[in-house]
C-alpha cells in the first residue's frame, strides 16, 4: 500500500516546512431566492418536488400574504424597495428570528449590488418577506419550512460576510511533499443564521 511505503521511507527523517501561507478570506451570503433556486433547495433539504414548493409558495403569497410573488426569475431587489426593508424586518421580528432581526435593525441598513440592482429585476423581484406580520401558528408544517428558507436568505444578505483565515503549510520530508490546510474563523457573519 502506497501510504505505508511512503510512511516507511519517512521514518526517522526530519520534516522541513518549505512554505507557510496565510490568507484572509471573505465569503458573502448566497443571495436572495428566485423560484428555481428555492425549488432546488427545498428539494435538496426537504425532498419537496418543484410543484409542491410552488404550491406552498402560492399559499404563503396569496393566502397568508407573508412572502412576495413566487414566479420570479430574479434574485435582486430594485432600488425603490430599499426603504421597505425595515418594515419587512419588523414583520419577521418573532422567534426564532428575533435576535438576527435586532442585529440588522440596530445599524443603518446597507444595500449593496449583491442584492439591489435595477438592471437585474425584470417583471418581478426576488422572493422576500412582505410587510405583513407573520403568525407562524397559522402556517402548516411545510409552509413553515419554505417560509424559513426565504426568511433566512433575506436576513443573510443584510448580514456581514463570513470571514476566515486560511493557512496552508507545505512541508518536505525526505523526497515527499505534504500540504496541510487549516481554517480559523474570524467572524461567523451570515453563517450564524444557519448554525
Cα 99 to Cα 57, 62, 90, 176, 179, distances in angstroms: 25, 28, 12, 50, 40
**Other beta carbons less than 10 A from residue 22's beta carbon:** 11
**Other beta carbons less than 10 A from residue 104's beta carbon:** 18
Helix (H) or strand (E) holding 186: strand 176-187
- C-alpha–C-alpha distance, residues 141 and 150, integer Å: 15
Active site annotation includes 69: yes
Catalytic residue among 28, 33, 61, 69: 69
- C-alpha–C-alpha distance, residues 133 and 135, integer Å: 7
From the number of C-beta atoms within 10 Å of its C-beta (0-12, 13-18, 19+), residue 96 rates as exposed
End-to-end CA distance of the chain: 40
Residues marked as catalytic? 69
Amino acid at each position: 500500500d502506497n501510504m505505508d511505503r511512503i510512511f516507511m521511507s519517512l521514518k526517522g527523517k526530519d520534516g522541513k516546512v518549505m512554505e507557510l501561507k496565510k490568507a484572509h478570506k471573505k465569503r458573502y451570503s448566497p443571495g436572495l431566492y428566485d423560484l428555481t433556486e428555492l425549488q432546488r433547495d427545498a428539494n435538496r433539504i426537504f425532498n419537496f418536488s418543484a410543484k409542491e414548493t410552488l404550491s406552498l409558495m402560492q399559499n404563503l403569497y396569496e393566502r397568508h400574504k407573508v412572502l412576495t410573488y413566487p414566479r420570479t426569475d430574479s434574485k435582486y431587489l430594485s432600488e425603490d424597495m430599499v426603504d421597505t426593508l425595515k418594515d419587512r424586518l419588523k414583520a419577521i421580528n418573532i422567534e426564532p428570528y428575533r435576535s438576527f432581526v435586532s442585529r440588522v435593525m440596530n445599524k443603518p441598513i446597507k444595500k449593496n449590488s449583491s442584492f439591489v440592482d435595477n438592471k437585474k429585476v425584470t417583471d418581478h423581484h426576488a422572493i422576500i418577506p412582505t410587510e405583513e406580520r407573520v403568525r407562524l401558528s397559522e402556517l402548516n408544517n411545510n409552509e413553515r419550512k419554505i417560509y424559513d428558507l426565504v426568511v433566512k436568505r433575506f436576513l443573510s444578505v443584510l448580514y456581514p460576510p463570513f470571514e476566515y483565515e486560511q493557512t496552508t503549510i507545505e512541508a518536505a520530508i525526505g523526497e515527499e511533499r505534504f500540504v496541510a490546510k487549516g481554517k480559523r474563523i474570524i467572524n461567523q457573519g451570515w453563517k450564524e443564521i444557519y448554525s
